[in-house]
Amino acid sequence: MQTRELSVPGAWEFTPRQFGDDRGTFLEWFKEAEFTGAAGHGLALAQANCSVSAAGVLRGVHYADVPPGQAKYVFCAAGAVLDVVVDLRVGSPTFGRWDSVLLDDVDRRAVYLSEGLGHAFLSLADGSTVVYLCSQGYAPEREHGVHPLDPELGIEWPRTGRDGRELEFTLSGKDEQAPTLAQAREAGALPSHADVEGFVAGLRAAAGR
């Protein structure tokens, strides 16, 4: 498995080796040793999610209060999505920066984003199936969003799907009503870089790193 840190610190891309024959394909989409080597601690698994999306469905940008936050290890089992990580940590040198990885059923990459980072994805094909391992369970009172089409973020969402057809973005009502990055910051709703660093340092200390 190959590991690459994204331009947003605290997020990594994992590319597995695939073994195929006339029966199909086998791969290991999560490996603890490689994960720990990158993140500096293990992945506490509290919940596993699966979402299936039509082409053009845009989910996010979602994040959770820190502590404890909600780290995610994201994999696309079928179809294709553009997966986006956003630095929402106030005080971070890369605050407001985003990076993206194409997750699909060809290269079968995965993305890990640590606590305090925002997550979003755009489905590029009908039936895109995304599964993700979460460090914390769903807690609506501490989960929030930033509008994925906020011009200040400037995320470059594809306008065409995997089949070459034009995409029409579809957002949930909650994501449509999400604040801009500036509004969320002004409201004091974003995580602090110092709080996130302290929390992650605790995880690494507990792991003996």
Predicted pLDDT of residue 208:
86
- Domain positions in the chain are 2-188
Query: What is the average pLDDT score of the chain?
Result: 97
- For the stretch 179-188, pLDDT in tens is 999 999 999 9
Residue type, 192: S
Q: Which residue type does 55 have?
A: A
CATH, domain 2-188, list 3.40.1440.10, 2.60.120.10, 2.40.30.130, 1.20.1560.10: 2.60.120.10
What per-residue confidence (pLDDT) applies to 121?
A: 98
Q: For position 132, what pLDDT does the model report?
A: 96
Of the candidates 62, 119, 147, 193, the residue annotated as catalytic is 62
Q: Which residues have C-beta within 8 Å of that of residue 157, sequence separation ≥ 6?
A: 58, 82, 122, 148, 149, 169
Per the annotation, the verdict on 132 as an active-site residue is yes
Catalytic site residue from 132, 144, 147, 193: 132
pLDDT in tens, 115-149: 999 999 999 999 999 999 999 999 999 999 999 99
Peptide bond into 8 cis (omega under 30): no
Tokens of 75: 């994999």
pLDDT at site 120: 98
* 62 carries an active-site annotation: yes
| Segment 38-76, tens digit of pLDDT | 999 999 999 999 999 999 999 999 999 999 999 999 999
Q: Are 152 and 118 in contact, with CB atoms under 8 Å apart? A: no
Say if residue 209's pLDDT is above 90.
no
What number is the average pLDDT over the span 67-94?
98
Rounded CA separation 62/42 (Å): 22
CA-nearest of 138, 148, 154 to 60 is 148
Q: What is the token pair recorded at 70?
A: 């909600």
Are 55 and 167 in contact by the 8 Å Cβ rule? The answer is: yes
